[in-house]
Amino acid sequence: MAIREIITVPDKILRGKARKVTSFGVELQTLIDDMVETMRVAPGVGLAAPQVNVPLRAIVVEFNESEDEETPPKLYMVVNPKITRFSSDQDIGTEGCLSIPRIVGDVERPISVTVKGFNRHGQPLKIKASGWLARIFQHEVDHLDGVLFVDRADKVWQIEGETTQIAPAD
């Protein structure tokens, strides 16, 4: 496993549409392992392959829905993820992104989703997520379509450091 560089705005890969994964071989396994390690070191709760300069439809998410600190967070590795169901109820939450350092924003998103895709070995999976986990999945799947949270945000602000230039959507 290796820690990969996280690509930041205004790099054009963040605005492109990622390609569907067609091979579940060694290269994909290495990519997923590297993404998990990179996400954890960053630290973050999610990472999409384009954020490490690989235009493929793969995401990793690690989040602890339990308030019990003894419970370890659950790790999700989803290849070719697709959100197939969105709740009609929505909520506003403050999001940030490893690819847009020091910028956060308020984003309205559905409070629950169903995600379908494949695990790292090509077996189908289905995840029902709500709350922050649903928000994380939506944020990461957006990355695969070249959408950044700032595109959806009602309000964006800097939290510290220098101003970051945000690339416009294509």
Active site residues: 140
Q: Do you find a cis peptide bond into 55, omega within 30 degrees of 0?
A: no
User: What angle is formed at CA 51 by the lines to CA 45 and CA 54, rounded to 5 degrees?
Assistant: 130
Which tokens hold the place of 71? 């419970």
Outline where DSSP puts E strands in the chain.
Answer: 46-48, 58-63, 74-86, 90-97, 100-110, 112-118, 124-130, 153-158
Residue 67 DSSP code: S
The amino acid at 169: A
